[in-house]
Amino acid sequence: MTYRKNRRRGLAATLATAAVAATLLGAAAPRPPVHVDNPFAGASFYVNPDYARLVEGSVARTTDPAVRARMRAVKRHPTAVWLDRIAAIHGGRANAGRKSLAHHLDLALARKKPGRPVVATFVVYDLPGRDCAAQASNGELPLTEEGLDRYRTEYIDAIAKVFARPKYRDIRITTVIEPDGLPNLVTNLSDPECALAQSSGIQVEAVRYALDRLHAIPNVYTYLDFAHSGWLGWDSNLTQTVRLYTDVVKGTAAGLASVDGLVTNVSNYTPLDEPFLTDPERVVGDGPVRSNAFYGWNPRFDEADFTRSVHRELVAQGWPGTTGMVIDTSRNGWGGPARPTAESTSASLDTYVTESRVDRRAQRGLWCNVAGAGLGEPPRAAPAGYPGSHLDAFLWVKPPGESDGSGENIPNGEGKRPDPMCDPAATPGALPHAPLAGHWFHDQFRMLVTNAHPPVS
């Protein structure tokens, strides 16, 4: 991020001169905006009261006092605020009574302690032709020039206008940009909607526009979504995807400096660490561990390995070493009774992998309201113990308890459709009776709290 740092230094110098002049004139000196390398470091995290309210609803429906106490503890955890449609910027009745973007920022400011920065995270998620490879989170904007136009003016411009208000300059505003958007343009081109998203160039234009507008605000930080190890962990996918990101970001006004980092595992269940499967090349029975059907030769079993490899590849393709990585750990804990406690001693590869892995999914591709999952590591800045991963933070980007989607046809004005991946009859391992994506799912929340790893305290 050399470019950005140089630019800031130039700006700071200008403002320092202005400050001297202002002091001489007896006016209050304007403080220079600061753009730090890791916005989460040393900051307190904004806790979304809308999320806390949803959790309270689950507490009220729970009788076991131990589970209630754990739910109450989860309520105090920070989660990202999803701007998942234009109405989410404005809040109120059009968005299920949730707070507007400005209201969240006012609250973040009100809770800021003197001398300590505050950081609030927002998910920018309204790409034209969104969720092209699935149905559960199809959005409101079509994959057309008109959709792109509305994305720019009614969505990104509206967000940028709020972020840029001078009163918010002391908040470190971090953004997670378009979950699944660019990754779908690499691996899902056999899907006609994704193929069109790619060939039309509309989604790349949209992401570049978002970066240009958001990067221009000094206290806003941009993190591009980068899928997860179970999706992009193969060498060929990983290299090719970093290449796409490099091209996309080089096409923004500030080039690579317009991105502060990447975020992986958003809304997914891939573990941070597979403690008993540490060597993908180790031969057990028929072949190396990674040749087992669960991994399909993908050598990256977890997000710790994945972020390390992605960071290395970014630097190899010319990105600054200061590019930060963030992992969504909201639902990748895999605690509970099914969690293995030791490496398997089986000599059969299949049994060995099945008994050793903490990821209890039947297949790594399952992503909708996965049965057996638990809350993961609590959000925190600069987690130690992951050398080479350059982790800026663990975050709970997906608010645990909000559904991934429904298998049933539930009429709605959000563009969401029934998804077979969320239908337990079509996809064993998806929880039954799920509401629409983003809506509160009490049974899932209870399960996540019960299976948390580390346990909620």
Comparison of 303 and 402: residue with beta carbon closer to ligand BGC? 402
Which of 55, 84, 101, 263: binder of ligand BGC (CB under 6 A)? 84
Task: Pick the stretch among 206-214, 313-321, 395-403, 426-434 that binds ligand BGC (CB under 6 A).
Answer: 395-403
CB of 441 to ligand BGC, least distance (A): 10
Pairing of strands 283-284, 380-381: unpaired
Measured CA to CA, the distance from residue 209 to residue 168 in angstroms comes to 22
Q: Under the criterion CB under 6 A, does residue 396 sit at the interface with ligand BGC?
A: no
Q: Under the criterion CB under 6 A, does residue 437 sit at the interface with ligand BGC?
A: yes
CB of 132 to ligand BGC, least distance (A): 13
CB of 404 to ligand BGC, least distance (A): 6
Comparison of 298 and 332: residue with beta carbon closer to ligand BGC? 332
In the chain, count H helices and then E strands.
15, 11
* 392 classed as catalytic: no
Per DSSP, 151 falls in state I
Task: Pick the stretch among 153-161, 218-226, 294-302, 396-404 that binds ligand BGC (CB under 6 A).
Answer: 396-404
Asked if 212 contacts 258 with a C-beta cutoff of 8 angstroms, the reply is: yes
The 255-294 contact track toward ligand BGC, x by CB under 6 A, reads ------------x---------------------------
Which of 121, 137, 203, 270: binder of ligand BGC (CB under 6 A)? 137
CB of 175 to ligand BGC, least distance (A): 14
CB of 137 to ligand BGC, least distance (A): 3
CB of 25 to ligand BGC, least distance (A): 48
Asked if 369 contacts 432 with a C-beta cutoff of 8 angstroms, the reply is: no
Comparison of 135 and 187: residue with beta carbon closer to ligand BGC? 135
Residue with tokens 């799920």: 434
Asked if 121 contacts 172 with a C-beta cutoff of 8 angstroms, the reply is: no
Q: Under the criterion CB under 6 A, does residue 38 sit at the interface with ligand BGC?
A: no
Q: Which residue is nearest to ligand BGC (CB)?
A: 438
Comparison of 48 and 356: residue with beta carbon closer to ligand BGC? 48
Asked if 282 contacts 347 with a C-beta cutoff of 8 angstroms, the reply is: no
- CA trace torsion 294, 295, 300, 306 (10° rounding): -60
Measured CA to CA, the distance from residue 419 to residue 406 in angstroms comes to 6
Residues in the chain: 457
SS3 category, 167:
helix
Which of 260, 404, 419, 423: binder of ligand BGC (CB under 6 A)? 404
Comparison of 299 and 400: residue with beta carbon closer to ligand BGC? 400
CB of 231 to ligand BGC, least distance (A): 16
Token representation of residue 326: 């963030």
Which of 70, 300, 398, 453: binder of ligand BGC (CB under 6 A)? 398
Q: Render the burial of 353-372: b for 16+ CB within 10 Å, e for the rest.
A: bbebbbbbbeebebbbbbbb
Which of 438, 440, 441, 448: binder of ligand BGC (CB under 6 A)? 438
Residue 325's closest CA among 252, 393, 376? 393
* Distance set, CA 394 to CA 173, 197, 224, 262, 303 (Å): 16, 30, 15, 12, 11
Measured CA to CA, the distance from residue 232 to residue 188 in angstroms comes to 11
Which of 230, 399, 400, 407: binder of ligand BGC (CB under 6 A)? 399
Cβ within 8 Å of residue 387, ≥6 positions away? 308
Catalytic residue among 37, 106, 126, 131: 131
Comparison of 210 and 242: residue with beta carbon closer to ligand BGC? 210
Comparison of 136 and 185: residue with beta carbon closer to ligand BGC? 136
Measured CA to CA, the distance from residue 6 to residue 105 in angstroms comes to 28
CB of 43 to ligand BGC, least distance (A): 23
Comparison of 55 and 249: residue with beta carbon closer to ligand BGC? 55
Measured CA to CA, the distance from residue 277 to residue 221 in angstroms comes to 35
Q: Render the burial of 386-416: b for 16+ CB within 10 Å, e for the rest.
A: beebbbbbbbbbbbbbbbbbbbeeeeeebbb
Per DSSP, 275 falls in state T
CB of 320 to ligand BGC, least distance (A): 30
Binding-residue total with ligand BGC (CB under 6 A): 10
Which residues of this protein are in contact with ligand BGC, per CB under 6 A? 82, 84, 137, 267, 398-399, 402, 404, 437-438
- Give the residue numbers annotated as catalytic, written as ranges: 131
